């Protein structure tokens, strides 16, 4: 079954404690992306990756890092989380970049609370 | 930077009524995508429009891309309770920048 998985699904942490949210897809997709969703602000892109070792900033990259060492995995790293990073995070993937007509698949989401 | 405005923010309808949500981009788009997110769920891809003036239909859903490729709409005919959710548009301006900008969404509720 084609899917995007994220872990953990829920996380409560404290300010400054480094954390990683994992994202994995089993569809051999090239394009992967992270979004955050906040009430009244909709979905905002944090980072995206066109392929292994190719990443670039979205609209709200501050305070986040990503890496793409393998095609299937695209972890989101918060080196020093702050309360304003409390949000619902979605990972997504699609076969090729935005110029193709591929479906973009979203993971189930990770609800992060930073105290 | 690129902005995508979506209206209305909320829409409540009686079952059987029609529904339309509109997106307007501050820049010309290479393509626009539409998603549906059920309450508590994740966004689900509905469709992508690429050509100027393009119209696509999926059962009761009709999607349009404007002639200038700066606006788009989603129209649902005869809404059903299963249509409840938030509908998002997302635009890509093309080129080597692969950022995808989402509208803030329209929350549709349907009274049975």
For an interface test with B, the pick among A89, A98, A110 (most B C-beta atoms closer than 10 Å) comes out as: A98
Which tens digit of pLDDT belongs to each residue from B57-94? Answer: 999 999 999 999 999 999 999 999 999 999 999 998 87
Which tens digit of pLDDT belongs to each residue from A35-94? Answer: 999 998 899 999 999 999 999 999 999 999 999 999 999 999 999 999 999 999 999 999
- Does pLDDT of A34 surpass 90? yes
Structure tokens at B94: 């093309």
The CB density around residue B5, as the number of other CB atoms within 10 Å, is 13
Q: Within its chain, how far is the Cα of B100 from the centroid?
A: 14
Closest to A6 in 3D by CA, of A105, A114, A113: A105
Strands A105-106 and A4-7: unpaired
The CB density around residue B107, as the number of other CB atoms within 10 Å, is 17
Strands B10-14 and B106-111: parallel
Which tens digit of pLDDT belongs to each residue from B24-60? Answer: 999 999 999 999 999 999 999 999 999 999 999 999 9
Find, in chain A, the residue whose alpha carbon is nearest to that of B38: A108
The region, left, alpha or beta by phi > 0 then psi within -120 to 50, assigned to residue B53 is: left
Tell me whether residues A101 and B50 touch, CB distance under 8 A.
yes
């Amino acid at each position: 079954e084609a899917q995007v998985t994220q872990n953990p699904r829920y996380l409560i942490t404290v300010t400054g404690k480094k954390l990683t949210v994992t994202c994995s897809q089993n569809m051999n997709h090239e394009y992967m992306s992270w979004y955050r969703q906040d009430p009244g602000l909709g979905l905002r892109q944090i980072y995206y990756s066109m392929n292994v070792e190719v990443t670039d900033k979205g609209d709200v990259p501050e305070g986040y890092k990503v890496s793409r060492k393998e095609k299937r995995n695209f972890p989101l790293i918060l080196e020093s989380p702050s309360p304003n990073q409390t949000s619902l995070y979605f990972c997504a993937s699609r076969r090729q970049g935005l110029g193709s007509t591929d479906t973009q698949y979203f993971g189930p989401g990770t609800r992060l609370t930073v105290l | 930077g690129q902005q995508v405005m979506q209206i209305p923010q909320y829409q409540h309808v009686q079952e059987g009524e029609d529904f339309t949500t509109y997106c307007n981009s501050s820049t010309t788009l290479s393509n626009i995508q539409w998603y549906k997110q059920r309450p508590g769920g994740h966004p689900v891809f509905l469709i992508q429009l690429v050509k100027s003036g393009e119209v696509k239909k999926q059962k009761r859903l009709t999607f349009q891309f404007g002639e200038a490729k700066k606006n788009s709409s989603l129209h649902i005919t005869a809404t059903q309770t299963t249509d409840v959710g938030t509908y998002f548009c997302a635009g890509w301006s093309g080129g080597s920048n692969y950022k995808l900008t989402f509208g803030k969404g329209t929350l549709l509720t349907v009274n049975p």
